[in-house]
Structure 1
Amino acid sequence: MIFGTTYNVYLGYCRRNYKHKSELEPETSMTQSLGIEQYKLSVVSGGKPTLNSFSSVTGNKNIARLSHDQQNYVIPFNNQIKVYSVETRQCVKTLKFANNPVLSGIFLQEQDDNESIVKILLGDITASQQENAHLITVFTKNGHVVVLNYKGKLIESPKHFKICLENEELSNVFHSKGNYRILTTFKDPKQQTHNCLQSARLYGLTFDETKAQFDLTHQTEWNNIILSNTSSNGKLLAYMCKDASTKDQEQKSISVVSLFDDSVNLNFPLSSVLSSQTQSLSSNTRYVSSMAVDNMGEQLAIGFASGVISIVNLADLQIRLLKWHIDSVLSLAFSHDGSYLLSGGWEKVMSLWQLATNSQQFLPRLNGIIIDCQVLGPQGNFYSLILQMTENTSNADYQFLLLSASDLNSKLSINGPLPVFNSTIKHIQQPISAVNTKNSNSVTSLNHSKKKQLRKLIKSKRQDFTTHVEINPINKNLYFPHISAVQIFDFYKNEQINYQYLTSGVNNSMGKVRFELNLQDPIITDLKFTRDGQWMITYEIEYPPNDLLSSKDLTHILKFWTKNDNETNWNLKTKVVNPHGLSVPITKIMPSPRSINNSQGCLTADNNGGLKYWSFDSHESNWCLKKISLPNFNHFSNSVSLAWSQDGSLIFHGFDDKLQILDFDTFKKFESLENTKTVSEFTLDSEIQTIKLINDTFLIVATRTTLNAINLLQGRIISSFDLYPFVNGVYKNGHLDRLITCDEKTGNIALVINQQLTDSEGAPTTDYKSRIIIFDSNLSTKLGNFTHHEYVSWIGWNYDTDFIFLDIESTLGVVGTTVNTQLSDEVNNEGILDGLVNTTTVTSTSNNDVFAEQLSQLSSRCRKSDTNDKNANGNDEDEEDITLDFINGEKKDKLINMNSFTSMFDNIQNVQMDTFFDRVMKVIT
């Protein structure tokens, strides 16, 4: 009772003291207004290739289009349309959505964030003369139709029309000899219990030039569709549906129909084309995973989850079996003349079947499993494949391949950035496999996996979708650790430079199928570069097989790589197994400054406070361990941070809530001279997430609750503000470091704050907005404040003047001072976060009430003084600036809040009263 009374007395004193400090006048906002003009935010690069979803009733996932002359390949991304030259393999044209008001309004400002392209047709279908080879017509899911010029300059006001759809989504568009049909999908209210079932309507599509609008003519409707596919010429549709005429829920039928006439109209039960052995075996042998129909309507290929392919002769329903796959057949396609069949699945091998002889040709060792294959070109000169890299379960990583049909040589390989997020993001669905693993969905779990994932995303307290990206200091390329490999991505050219495996695993040499999917390959968890860019340092973890006594004995490996300028791949120079001892992980890697061995060195830290210094020894021609500091803490923590002074003399080691300053020469606590007094250890209010050293003078320390600026010369915290509403419990320990970076030339700091949005009733959703804030070196002035319409997963300094960031849609943006007319400037996009920004007019019905109320409370202390400054200068400050003026440095001393004393209660037993008072005074002074 005495202890509680004493604590309350001191807490009251802290609150009074904190209130008194918060009344200090803020600094002038002149620098801030100048800074807003200096920094700009632009979304300029990255993105994911767009494909029809797995639930699409059309079955054809590839939307990319080959030009009439077969020289260009037009492929849509979620943020742009890119045109590739088949001959040179280069991207020759980019149509960015953000650079055009029409495209921006459709794809970036739609209320439905699922808006996407579903079809691209060559030419202008709204014109009577369609001879212009430079135009394409783009159809979107919500019925938008846009005519674009894909060879010349992007027209500022292209043709834009809207097809009127009622509770339907556009799924596909077909054309034949000037006639057009569209296929729409909708959910039948009678089939709410069956999420995999969809209904479809077929309409005739005509354009009325006098009214400048599209007219629809209803043709037919199909219900209870499970799976479908269209022929390569787009004239036939094959679909499988549940039979509504019988009470047997397992009874399914298959139909093949013509889309433009009545020449083909077949319907037969699925059981009639199952072999005698199939009907008596497991559900995998009866579950249809893919279908394909040839252009003549004579053959139908049915792929099963068991790996068997049935070729059905539609004239007499006779079947023959093709057996090679040992897991689900995920994609099928006939050649134009029906003599060959393409198939692909989990084996990462494309199989080309000659149907007359049943002989096969293979294209093995692809980068991912084959989820779609198509035959392109008037004579079928090209094969297109879509690969999914299922090893990354947090994201949907797709790669598009264009192959020559004559020799199976690759003509194009297209993909965007491949980040690995800490948690699985929304709209990710793994393909079907015969075995339920973390990389796949089984037949039984398919219907529940998507709903389960959405519930988890909404209810989970930790919304950590951060990722690790590293920038090469020499060529500015982005390095994405991708499970066992690393992707090298050129930010400025917006294309992948290389994809290199850095570990030894099963997946590097062959595909994994069935139970092999449970074998976990080594994972690269950290990657750094030396300051000169000549060495790459990687840290990976090897996992033993499951269900063994040694299954929990992980192997930690530190590797040092180098490469010459004329080489593409990095070469391994040194490999260190368990560098900090058996089963001891590396929690942080810090490259040395240029003053230490010409930057060819690094520090590694473990989760028990130990440090090791590694350096390249020119005499040994190898990396060697030079110094070691034994663990000096009596507990474990994953909250470990490192910083290094530019002259190399001091090391700043953050461990849990302790920050120590170490002498590099002795690897011990820094001791000041006799006539000076310097603080060598700080105790923060909670676990330290990251530390940044600015100009060898200021140390920026981010904890779970606060962001602090420490003046090393004065040995005290000079400014601080609260991060608790935005950070606490959201990010995994140490991952906030991915959302804070600093410009080492100017000392400016970039901070990302992510916000989960709510619906009209205040319930959390899977949508996010983010804010990127730029400070000066001591957090006293805000230089920039920007909003972005997606969750930002990483931000980093590009060793020049700009900050690069990545969001969960794999799009890349820049916040910087460079001005480029090709960049899409979003600095004036007001209203993106209305509820977050407009705190003075927020109401109870706003979607962002809670978040806005927190910001309003945090900024209310400085609003009065800001109003006085505004009246004195005669300038109206932007509402975004008013909202976050609590960051403007009005708190010159340490911030005290309800979390400041939490660390004192970790070990409170048998503590004397004077010792407890000393702890309290350390927090408030």
Structure 2
Amino acid sequence: MTQQLSTITQKYQLSVVSGGKPILPGINNPTNSEKNISILTHDQTNMIVPFNNQIRIYSLETRQCIKTLKYSNNVMLSTIFDNKSLTQKINIVAIMLGDITTTNIEERQHEKLITVFTNLGQVIVLNYKGKLTDTPKLYQLDLNQDLNENVMKVFTNDSEFKLLTCLSSKSSSYNYKLSSMKFNDKKIDLTTEKELPNVILSTWSKDGNVITALYKDPSDSNRKHILIQSIFNNSYHNDFLLESVLHVSQNQKNNSNANSRFVSTMTIDNSVTQLALGFASGVISIINLNDMQTRLLKWHIDSVLSLCFTDDGSYLLSGGWEKVLLFWQLSTNTQQFLPRLNGIVMDIKTMGKFYSLALQMAENETSSDYELLVLNSTDLTSKLSITGPLPIFTSMIRDTTHPTSVLKPNTQINISKKKQKRKLLKSKKQDFTTIIEINPQTKQLYIPHLSLLQTFDFFKNEQISLQYLTDGMNNSMGKVREELNIRDPQIQNLKVTNDGNWLISYEVEFPPEDLLSSKDISHVLKFWSRDSSESTQWVLKTKVLNPHGRSVPITNIKVAPTTVDGGIGCLTTDNNGGMKYWAFNSMEKNWCLKKLLIANFTNYSNSVSLGWSRDGSLIFHGFDDKLQIIDFDKFKKVELDNNSTQDNNDTETMRAEFTLDSEIQAVKVIGDKNLIIATKTSLNVIDLLLGKIINSFDLYPYVDGIYKKGHLDRLISYDDKNEKIAIVINEQIQRDNGENTLDYKSHILLFNSDLSERLDYFTHDEYISWISWNYDTDFIFLDTQSRFGIVGTTVTTEMSDEPLNRDELIDGVINGTTDTNNIENNKDIDSENITASYLDKLREISRKKNNIDINGKSLQGPDDDESMEVEEEIISGNRKNGKGINMNSFTNMFENIQNVPMETLFDNVMKTLS
């Protein structure tokens, strides 16, 4: 009765509450040198930053977010930015202070209003200091949709407004169009003034008065020209050949290297006297526009990705793959450096007394992760650091963009968008899962990012710290030339103890390439502690090299429950069935190996799962398709008495072992008696007291071949307090003709402890990569857009939840029911034996099964066979009358099929069917 009441009163809701990542709109247009569009407010104290799911305002004084404008909180904004039916994704491409759509000077300079332009022509006026309950002003620009005309930039000189748009072209270049904007009460009129065809690269001065374009001229044999002209008048116009300003060393006749002539970025100063060109070879060319003289600046070893002049034109700032910000004093040719940045420098902007940098974590090839860094221009101290969650996905997700590198021509970062799209559409293994751990005490999230560990505050929605956990070149110095081929160690798994004071990490170290030892990968297990409860940095306490032997990987890590060594311990397993128990030794003040179970399988498998009972007496070890029950005290497989008599000293034993239908992907202990086992084809519930599988659901259509071994565990979580389980099923959206698309939706199902009752069901509009219980009442999940959401009882719904029975895909999973007699029996057994250990329960049930009491005497009665029968059985579908038959029904019958006569095999089949 208590369980039914809790189910009724605890109504679950789904809400997307935090997360998201800052966007660089210019990344999507390779001809645009300006990537970052973040701006300062009127008083220069706050910064307005667009994210993929919201607009955030940060204070430069407190370094914190002071205002959030979530798209999901407003019907108009959610309709615009969350529209999945469009073939092109909508992004903010320009932000302007005030309401520029009005002719009223006071409203145009209003300190609380901003005007936002999207790439598809929506113009939105928002009150960024108010609430989103009021409907914002919305205009739609009349763009040429047939030619995919997109907004790039808005220019103003306080009295006029110009709109720069680009139109698609068959080649890699774009056609630009510059139009004037006139604002009326109901619409915005556009008048085309200039057209710039075949643009390869563009930039403009900071004051917005001059535009520069590198283009191909069809009338001049498609030779490359540079055009510089005024935007608001015809006061300046200059057009010259790119070849005419190339240095002798860059001339095609003297240099066969095409990278020395490939312009990767450029910038022009406000006085229109200096033009800087950055080349893929790493060379920077400074052109004096008065006399067309050039000089070269050499330091970068890879493509120059960003350039910017200071306001007075005395310094040039440059950045690239080296993760270093360079200051070139143009009068003396001296250099200053700001090294060891977190990412490659994609964009540099001067903002009064600040420098704004846009960094990309280019080592992550699965996603485009950015950090916005604001520096004080006088002492280069950091004023603000903005980033979102930095997960590493198993596979590259859609909309992932990386800059071109001439030193990494064969890597994933140089894959074209078309090739990436074809790969995602054809690939069967759509695995975009990730690893995240929650600190049970502080509720902070630990996100492994290659060699780094990001500590993320879910409630404040901000990064707390970014710390290197591995010994690599990136955390000590930058890489140059051949060093780029050296792979830094990568974090493969991460766990936190129940007290929140110990961190356990497993990493893989890669040797240099092209050596005899290139395949000798090292496996490292590390144990970290915190100096204090408020510390965000971890201190290495113990390091174990190759803990399971040379070149033997760690396939899983399980933290000990609080009943075992106070919870300061863990299990590690390998791919051959070996298992080790590590715990902190207070005498040695170090982590030590305490127990060992040698490898006991003849085959190798990376499908290894672990479960641990609450009292710590039993370990559930899933290896390939076998599930073994391990006695933790003896640290060996549990043996249950079978056919023991007083007259016979020989004792025949039955090992506590189950054979499932396919590889085990996850093992979860729910409450005191239920064990949830997910395989590649089914989801099974084992009642540990009955010693058999009491329920089974078919998962084959939804997970087979999609996830890598063991990764389904990241999409199944359980609430240990309320004994609820959450399961995620991701679905690739198809067109009406059955073709796959790059879009996904996901389904979250909530069940009770034995999966006999579905508590709730939600649909999310994106692929979910991870879900976990937050050690309270809710489940937290992360999707491929780096957005965090909650499924729980303590949040309000910000997204529309679909009806329970809307999707037929889920019906195939949730149609299974359990025998009501089994459920009632389980309740009785649970109430009588709640204080006993799992091992004692299993041994007692084993004696009852074989009709033997504790002294070995027979207890069999005439009617005990059917009532006390304990055998491995998987039930699927309706089992009200008769026995359900599915793919699992004959699993145990084929375990020992050798030398079995056909008649015996036929009899066994008939027994199963009868």
- TM-score, scaled relative to structure 2: 0.87
Return the alpha-carbon distance in structure 2 between the equivalents of residues 398 and 552 of structure 1: 32
Correspondence for 1:383: 355
The amino acid that maps onto 1:808 is T
> Which residue number in structure 2 is paired with residue 500 of structure 1?
467
Choose from 122, 130, 134 the match for 1:156: 134
1:347–1:513 CA contact under 8 A, matched in 2: yes
Superposed, 1:476-491 pairs within 5 Å as: 476-491=443-458
Amino acid at match of 1:271: E
Pick from 624, 631, 650: which aligns with 1:656?
624
1:182 and 2:150 correspond: no
- Checking the alignment, whether the CA contact within 8 Å between 2:493 and 2:506 is kept in structure 1 is yes
Within 1, Cα distance between the matches of 2:638 and 2:878?
31
Q: What's 1:253 paired with?
A: 225
Cα separation, 2, equivalents of 1:919 and 1:749: 36
Q: 2:93 aligns with which of 94, 118, 126?
A: 118
Partners of 1:84 and 1:742 lie apart in 2 by 36
- 1:48 aligned residue: 21
Aligned counterpart, 1:410: 382
Distance 2:600 2:36 in 1: 57
- Quickly say closer, same or farther: Cα 1:182–1:32, change in 2 above 3 A: farther
Q: Distance in 2 between matches of 1:317 and 1:596?
A: 77
Q: Does 1:548 align with 2:519?
A: no
1:385-441: per-residue Cα shift (whole Å, max 9, x none)? 011111111111110001111111111000000000000111112212222356675
Q: In structure 2, the residue corresponding to 1:160 is in which secondary structure?
A: strand
Cα distance in structure 2, aligned partners of 1:918 and 1:571: 63
Residue 398 (str. 1) matches residue 379 (str. 2):
no
1:344 aligns with 2:319: yes
Distance in 2 separating the partners of 1:919 and 1:598: 48
The aligned residue for residue 752 of structure 1 is: 728
Q: Is the 8 A contact 1:686 1:900 kept in 2?
A: no
Select between 490-499 and 295-304 the one with higher mean Cα deviation.
Answer: 295-304
| Counterpart in the other structure of 1:83 | 57
Looking at structure 2, the residues matched to 164 and 904 of structure 1 have their Cα atoms a distance apart, in angstroms, of 70
CA deviation after TM superposition for structure 1 residue 263, in Å: 1.5
8 Å CA contact retained: 1:722, 1:895: no
2:696 & 2:883 partners in 1: Cα distance? 6
Residue 506 of structure 1 aligns to a residue whose secondary structure is coil
Match 2:349 to one of 357, 374, 377? 374
RMSD, matched Cα: 2.8
The reply on whether 1:713 has 2:689 as its aligned counterpart is yes
Whose radius of gyration is greater, 1 or 2?
A: 2
Matched residue, 1:8? none
Higher relative contact order at CA 8 Å, sep ≥6: structure 1 or structure 2? 1
Residue by residue over 1:671-694, the C-alpha shift from the partner in whole angstroms, topping out at 9 and shown as x without a partner, is 335799997111110000001001
Change (3 A) 1:315 1:334: same
Unaligned runs of 5+ in 2: 645-652, 818-874
Match of 2:770 among 789, 794, 811: 794
- The Cα of 1:517 is off from its aligned counterpart by 2.2
Cα contact 2:557–2:570 (8 A) shared by 1: yes
| 1:302 equivalent in structure 2 | 277
Give the Cα–Cα distance (whole angstroms) in 1 for the partners of residues 410 and 67 of structure 2: 38
Distance in 2 of aligned mates of 1:787 and 1:124: 37
Distance 1:34 1:409, change over 3 A: same
| Structure 1 residue aligned with 2:633 | 665
Given the alignment of the two structures, is residue 169 of structure 1 paired with residue 150 of structure 2, yes or no? yes
**Match of residue 233 from structure 1:** 207
Aligned with 1:636 (options 589, 593, 604): 604
Task: Give the Cα separation in 2 of the matches to 1:517 and 1:54.
Answer: 23
Counterpart position of 2:83? 109
Residue 797 (structure 1) shift:
0.6
Alpha carbons of 1:216 and 1:145: their partners in 2 closer, same or farther (altered >3 Å)? same
The answer to whether 1:357 aligns with 2:335 is no
Partner of 1:881: none
For the residues of structure 1 that align with 2:501 and 2:812, how far apart are their CA atoms?
49
What is residue 580 of structure 2 aligned with on the other side? 612
Instruction: Render the CA deviation track for 1:279-310: whole Å, top value 9, x for unaligned.
Output: 23201111111100111211110000111100
Kindly indicate whether the alpha-carbon contact (under 8 Å) linking 2:501 and 2:533 is maintained by their aligned counterparts in 1: no
Asked if the contact 2:139/2:187 (under 8 Å) is kept, the reply is yes
1:39 partnered with 2:12: yes
* Residues 64/895 of structure 1: CA separation in 2 closer, same or farther (3 Å cut): farther
2:437 to 467, 470, 477: 470
Instruction: Provide the rounded CA distance (Å) in 2 between the counterparts of 1:486 and 1:226.
Output: 39
Per-residue deviation, 1:759: 2.5
Q: Give, in whole Å, the separation in 2 of the partners of 1:915 and 1:353.
A: 87
Q: Does 1:684 align with 2:660?
A: yes
Q: Cα distance 1:368–1:439, how it changes in 2: closer, same or farther (>3 A)?
A: farther
1:135 corresponds to 2:113:
yes
Would the aligned equivalents of 2:97 and 2:109 in 1 still touch at CA under 8 Å? Answer: no
Preserved contact between residue 608 and residue 665 of structure 2 (Cα < 8 Å): yes
Residues 40-86 of structure 1 deviation map (CA, whole Å, 9 limit, x = unaligned): 00001010101114342432111111112110000010011110011
> Sequence identity of aligned pairs in percent?
55
Q: Taking structure 1 as reference, are residues 717 and 763 closer, same or farther at Cα in structure 2, changes over 3 Å only?
A: same
* Match runs of 1:504-903 below 5 Å: 504-563=471-530, 564-672=532-640, 680-820=656-796, 824-828=797-801, 838=806, 852=808, 890=878, 896-898=885-887
Rounded to whole Å, the distance in 1 between the matches of 2:692 and 2:883 is 8
Distance 2:384 2:643 in 1: 69
Count of aligned positions: 837
The alignment partner of 1:341 has SS state of strand
Q: SS of the counterpart of 2:207?
A: coil
The 8 Å contact of residues 328 and 345 in structure 1, kept in 2 or not, is answered as yes
User: In structure 1, what is the Cα distance between the partners aligned to 2:282 and 2:95?
Assistant: 32
The alpha-carbon distance between structure 1 residues 505 and 861, as it changes in their structure 2 partners (threshold 3 A), is: closer
Give the match's secondary structure for 1:507. coil
Q: 1:83/1:861 Cα in 2 relative to 1: closer, same or farther (>3 Å)?
A: closer
Measure the CA separation in 1 of the matches of 2:16 and 2:787.
Answer: 7
Q: Are the equivalent residues in 2 in contact too, given 1:806–1:812 (CA < 8 A)?
A: yes
Structure 2 distance, partners of 1:918, 1:798, is 51
Conserved? CA contact 1:697–1:712, under 8 Å:
yes
Q: Taking structure 1 as reference, are residues 858 and 734 closer, same or farther at Cα in structure 2, changes over 3 Å only?
A: closer
In the alignment, the residues of structure 1 paired with residue 621 and residue 383 of structure 2 have an alpha-carbon distance, to the nearest angstrom, of 50
Q: What are the superposed Cα offsets for residues 812-836 of structure 1, whole Å, 9 maximum, x if unpaired?
A: 101000035xxx5224356xxxxx9
Secondary structure of residue in 2 paired with 1:453: helix
CA contact (8 A) 1:721 1:895 kept: no
1:223 CA displacement? 1.5
Alignment CA distance shift 1:671-1:387 (3 Å):
same
Q: Name the SS for the 2:27 alignment partner.
A: coil
Seen in structure 2, the aligned counterparts of structure 1 residues 911 and 552 have a Cα distance that, compared at 3 Å, is: farther
The Cα shift of 1:514 comes to 3.8
SS at match of 1:742: strand
Are the equivalent residues in 2 in contact too, given 1:710–1:719 (CA < 8 A)? Answer: yes
Query: What letter matches 2:730 in structure 1?
Result: N
Distance 1:663 1:481, change over 3 A: same
Judged with a 3 Å threshold, the aligned counterparts in structure 2 of structure 1 residues 713 and 174 are, in CA distance, closer, same or farther, namely same
Range with bigger deviation, 416-425 or 123-132? 123-132
Change (3 A) 1:135 1:670: same
Question: How do 1:438-477 residues align onto structure 2 when only pairs under 5 Å count?
Answer: 449-477=416-444
Give the structure-1-normalised TM-score.
Answer: 0.86
Q: What is the CA-CA distance between 1:601 and the residue it aligns to? A: 0.6
